[in-house]
Amino acid sequence: MKLVVTRNISNELLEKIASVTPLEMIVSEKQEEIVKEVKDAEVLLLFWHAKHKVVDFFIEAEKLKWVHSVSAGVDHVLPHFKKNDVILTRSATTQNVAIAEHCLSLMLMISRQLNYVFKHVQQRRWERLIGDELFNHTVVILGVGFVGREIAKRCNCFGMTVIGVDLVKPSRVDLYRFYPISNLDEALKEADYLVVTLPLTKETAGLIGEKEFSEMKPGAKLVNVSRGGIVAEKAMIEALKQKRLAAAASDVFETEPLPSTSPLYEMENFIISPHMAGLTPYMVPRAVDLFCKNLRKYLNGEPLLHAVILERGF
């Protein structure tokens, strides 16, 4: 079996993979080398990198049978994933805690006006601001999957009223109320904070736009830790200018890196997080652990964990 890994990970992690079964393992971050080696590879362990042209990895990969994406979202893979006989899996559970904690960090920054405080301190200004509290405020979590459920747990600990919105009502999560996504407009009216954690699919692209911002209560806040394409940036910028949104923070953007010409850099009531919510020292080891579990299942002909339904998009 030949495995191509698209990131230079530690020898310890490579040995962990090799301990599962004897295999030929090619490790490279170079575009040309990956394209060459994946042609006769059976398995691809895909670490997304902005410099990679992912489409090239699949063009001549005739022997490919399984691709595991280290990202929780696979919207960057699916447009190039044409072969229905190839299994696609994703790291759906390895970044939940990190993203949830990052989301709460952004919510707390907004609530306590820490973005303004940090700016003042850098200017050597001593200016005390009146912050808000998360306690007794309502958070609407749009997407109550693995990440959304972790966010809900933490919001409950802060004494927030937690409302979930999704296609299907989740189990194993404490929600004050649940709305199906067809009733999103009703949920938006209640939101002091709107947290976006949905995967990016054909159905969710541009889901939060001008109409949705107009349905939110004045002074609401937005935090996006999923994909930039779900929130229409122009509509969000206008909502921030008009104070329909009091503040917003996003870890993801329609174009990444965010262009230096974006007006978001100049907006005081907007916090930019450069797609780093899932990045901790534990991300790669957890992803490799999940890959090894799936590799054992793959060798035994068992269904793989977190297999993507191509038509659904996640």
For 220-252, the pLDDT digits (tens) are: 999 999 999 999 999 999 999 999 999 999 999
Confidence band, pLDDT 50/70/90 cuts, at residue 76: confident
For position 192, what pLDDT does the model report?
Answer: 98
Reference 245, options 223, 275, 273, 272; nearest CA is 223
For position 15, what pLDDT does the model report?
Answer: 98
Q: Is the pLDDT of residue 80 over 90?
A: no
Give the 3-state secondary structure of residue 31: helix
Reference 60, options 46, 41, 77; nearest CA is 41
Confidence band, pLDDT 50/70/90 cuts, at residue 83: low
For position 51, what pLDDT does the model report?
Answer: 85
For position 171, what pLDDT does the model report?
Answer: 85
87-111 mean pLDDT: 97
155-165 mean pLDDT: 98
13-26 mean pLDDT: 98
CATH code of domain 96-272: 3.40.50.720
Q: Is the pLDDT of residue 50 over 80?
A: no
CATH architecture of the domain covering 2-94+280-299: 3-Layer(aba) Sandwich (3.40)
**Taking the model in full, what pTM does it have?**
0.95
Reference 307, options 92, 55, 6, 44; nearest CA is 92
Lowest model confidence (mean pLDDT) among 83-87, 143-147, 226-230: 83-87
Q: Is the pLDDT of residue 82 over 70?
A: no
Comma-separated ranges of CATH 3.40.50.720 domains in the chain? 2-94+280-299, 96-272
Distance CA 88, CA 81 (A): 9
Q: Which residues of 93-115 are buried (b: 16+ CB within 10 A; e: fewer)?
A: bbbbbbbbebbbbbbebbbbbbb
61-70 mean pLDDT: 96
What is the share, in percent, of the chain residues with pLDDT greater than 70?
Answer: 99
For position 85, what pLDDT does the model report?
Answer: 83
Structure tokens, 152: 């809900």
**Distance of CA 276 to CAs 30, 39, 196, 252, 292, Å?**
22, 31, 15, 9, 25
Confidence band, pLDDT 50/70/90 cuts, at residue 19: very high
Confidence band, pLDDT 50/70/90 cuts, at residue 78: confident
Tell me which of 85 and 299 has the higher pLDDT. 299
Q: Is the pLDDT of residue 84 over 80?
A: no
For position 240, what pLDDT does the model report?
Answer: 97
283-295 mean pLDDT: 98
